[in-house]
Amino acid sequence: MSHPFDAMGLTTLEGEPLAPDAYRGKALLVVNVASRCGLTPQYEELVALAQETAADGVAVLGVPCNQFGA
């Protein structure tokens, strides 16, 4: 069965397609994040949260929405 995020074409920070199997079977926390600007202090907390919850089957995905034309 495909996952709704499969059709979104998410990419990694390196610009590579995010493999659907990277998060299949996990609970997802999808966070709209700013990118390429000074409004990114939450990244450290998101990384810490991802590390703390990974063993519990939770994946944290930071996804920029490009609403600011970055």
Query: Is 65 noted as a catalytic residue in this protein?
Result: no
Separation between Cα atoms, residue 67 and residue 57, nearest integer Å: 30
Q: Which of 37, 41, 56, 57 is catalytic?
A: 37
Burial classification of residue 26, based on how many CB atoms lie within 10 Å of its CB (0-12 exposed, 13-18 middle, 19 or more buried): middle
Catalytic residues, by residue number, are: 37
